[in-house]
Amino acid sequence: MSRPIAALTLLFCTMLWGFAFVAQKSAMDSMGPLTFSGTRFIIGGLLIVPLALRELRRTATRPTTRQWQLVALMCAVFFAGSILQQYGLMLTTVTNSGFLTGLYVFFVPVIGLLAARIVPHPIIWFCAPIALLGIYLLNGGNFDSFNLGDALIIACAVFWALHVLLLGHWPQPPACPFCSR
């Protein structure tokens, strides 16, 4: 993929990510968080089934019990993050939700260090706070009245960070240039 196409793809993905908060917040006017999340996951699951079946026929290997356990854990963490985000969106603004969800950028190296002893490259400690500042400036977060919705969104960011860390273990990645493991 050429650099311009890659940059446009990243821009498009970023726009979708941002618009998703507006759609999620609007959906709460007509349905509850569990109904919205359930519908969203069923549609996503149905769309991925043909790809999963094709992959299953293409490869002879089957997941091990340990890999299925990791999948179950990743699903539980993903579900927790999604549900906390939906409930938080009912109680806070889209702007605050976008900013606070972005805290997972900071939580990933912190949780990785504390829970898994994954020591990030020193540049991460410089870049993560800059990313937080950038997210804040882009979203224009407002903390005049911190509420329960904001706390739920922060908890959701912790689960998104856990999900990112778990994804890093499936499959075992090659040596990471940013990690000293």
What pTM did the predictor assign? Answer: 0.76
Question: Which structural domain, as residue segments, surrounds residue 78?
Answer: 65-167
Per-residue pLDDT of 54-81, as tens digits, reads 888 888 777 788 888 888 999 999 999 9
- Is 22 among the domain residues? no
- Is 46 among the domain residues? no
How much is the pLDDT for 170? 63
Per-residue pLDDT of 111-124, as tens digits, reads 999 988 888 889 98
Per-residue pLDDT of 88-118, as tens digits, reads 988 888 888 888 888 888 899 999 999 888 8
How much is the pLDDT for 63? 78
Q: What's the total number of domains in the chain?
A: 1
- Is 24 among the domain residues? no
User: CA 158, CA 169: separation in Å to the nearest integer?
Assistant: 17
Q: Are 156 and 78 in contact (CB under 8 A)?
A: no
User: CA 70, CA 162: separation in Å to the nearest integer?
Assistant: 12
- Is 70 among the domain residues? yes
- Is 76 among the domain residues? yes
How much is the pLDDT for 6? 87
- Is 126 among the domain residues? yes
Per-residue pLDDT of 126-148, as tens digits, reads 888 888 787 777 666 556 677 89
